[in-house]
Structure formats: C-alpha cells, structure tokens
Amino acid sequence: MRSIELALQGAASVLMAGLIFGAGLPVVYALAMRALVTGSTVTEDASGHTTVHHTVLGRAVAGVLLAVIVGAVALGITMIAASGFGKTVSFSGDGILPTIVDK
C-alpha cells in the first residue's frame, strides 16, 4: 500500500513541474505581452502609417516578466547540462542562487 502512495506523490511532483515549466512559462509570456499593450496608444498619420506608443510601466512589467522567463530557461539548461556532467544543481547555500555540486 505504501508503494501506491509513493507513486502518487511522485506523479503529483511531475504534474506540478509540468504545470510550472510546461504551462507556466507561456502564461507568464502572455501576461508580459498583455502588460506591454495595456495603456498603449496607437496613432495614425496622414499617410496611413500607424505607430504604437507603449507606457513606461507596461514596458517595465513586461521586461521583468520576460527576465523571469529567461532565468527559468537558463536554469533548466543549467540543470540538464549539470546532470550530463554527473553533477546536480543545488539551492542549499543562500537559497536564492543555484550552485552546481557533485551528486
């Protein structure tokens, strides 16, 4: 009976990781694009050329969200590369910055 419980806990962990990395990053990207266009104005000149003017706050929020995405992708690549070299990524030092340590 204990093995079923352990299997379900493992499945829950994989599901959460899949939601965070699989569906979570596209949601963050969508939020970044939405923040970028929120409050934007569009102007059109006499020749029909349109120009979009984004707000400073929208650009800042989109920049922060895109930086989160870049950081998550970099962390994922680091974890894959570290495991290929027989190492692992740990957050044990300060809890914020990842470090590559031996397994």
Question: Tens digit of pLDDT per residue, the chain (103 long)?
Answer: 688 888 888 888 888 887 777 788 888 999 999 999 998 999 999 998 999 999 999 999 999 999 999 998 898 899 889 989 999 888 877 777 888 888 8
Domain boundaries, the chain: 2-102
Q: Which segments of 13-94 are extended strands (E)?
A: 41-44, 50-53, 87-90
**Contact between residue 83 and residue 73 where contact means Cβ atoms under 8 Å apart:** no
- The helix or strand, by DSSP H or E, that contains position 17, with its residue range, turns out to be helix 2-17
Question: 3-state class of 52 per DSSP?
Answer: strand
Q: Which two tokens stand for residue 70?
A: 């870049």
